[in-house]
Structure 1
Amino acid sequence: MRPTLYLKLSCNQMQLLHVQSGRELHLQANPPFSNQRLLVADFAAAEHLLQRAIGQILPKRYLRLSLPPQLLIQPLERLEGGLSQVEERILLELGLGSGARKVRLHLGSELDNAGVLAKLRS
């Protein structure tokens, strides 16, 4: 079964949930990846933090033996007026660069495990 990950993204913070196991990881960015205008202003810093988070939440043995994870990204801040195409592309590329095979974005209220799976199926 493909691992399913749910990323909640805030200014300079990531909260990553492995849906199947329920394992959750909170990371604070150092160096920061957000600025006053953009949630992801430093792409390399955000990508490095996400790769590190995925490496911690999924055992290396599991990563080698399984299919690449699917990832649902939910930005929680800097959403005034919705996301521009550039911001959407940044978030999608962030997920793909972290090794996820399938990446989807979610704007709205936080989801439970069943909601995450349903969103990734649609």
Structure 2
Amino acid sequence: MRPTLYLKLSCNQMHLQSGRELHLQADPPFSSQRLLVADFAAAEHLLQRGLDELLPKRFLRLSVPPQLLIQPLERLEGGLSQVEERILLELGLGCGARKVRLHMGPELDSAGVLAKLRS
């Protein structure tokens, strides 16, 4: 069974859900005044730390990569540019997710997350 993850991203914070919930505070910060993810390496390191804590090691050993829905919550004035979308997609793929989707809109429950990942 492929694990499903929901990442809500705000300035220097990540809220990761997969059955359990995990709140991560960035140190060093990854956001700037203009960009939600300005320091890609710092954001990737924080997300990887969260995945290591949230997902059982057997998922990684069995090569069952997770599917990930990323929802940016801040710095959305005028929508996301193609560059910002690419940053978020690469963030998920770089941490080992097989399928990464972006969601702009209201926060979702677990059924909503699954529906977005299926579409």
**TM-score using structure 2 length:** 0.98
Local SS of the residue matching 2:46: helix
56-65 or 107-116: bigger deviation: 56-65
1:72-111 superposed matches below 5 A: 72-111=69-108
Structure 1 unaligned blocks of 5 or more: none
Q: Do 2:8 and 2:73's aligned partners in 1 also have CA atoms closer than 8 Å?
A: yes
Could you tell me the percent identity over the aligned residues? Answer: 87
1:17-56 superposed matches below 5 A: 17-18=17-18, 22-56=19-53
Q: Do 1:2 and 1:70's aligned partners in 2 also have CA atoms closer than 8 Å?
A: yes
Matched, 1:70 2:31: no
Matched, 1:5 2:5: yes
Q: Do 2:59 and 2:65's aligned partners in 1 also have CA atoms closer than 8 Å?
A: no
How much has 1:66 moved relative to structure 2?
5.2
Structure 2 unaligned blocks of 5 or more: none
Q: Give 4+ residue runs of structure 1 displaced > 3 Å after superposition.
A: none
What is the RMSD computed on CA atoms of the aligned residues?
0.7
Figure out how many residues of one structure are paired with residues of the other and give that number: 119
After superposition, give the CA deviation of every residue in 1:49-87 in whole Å (9 maximum; x if it has no partner): 000100000011232125100000000000000000000
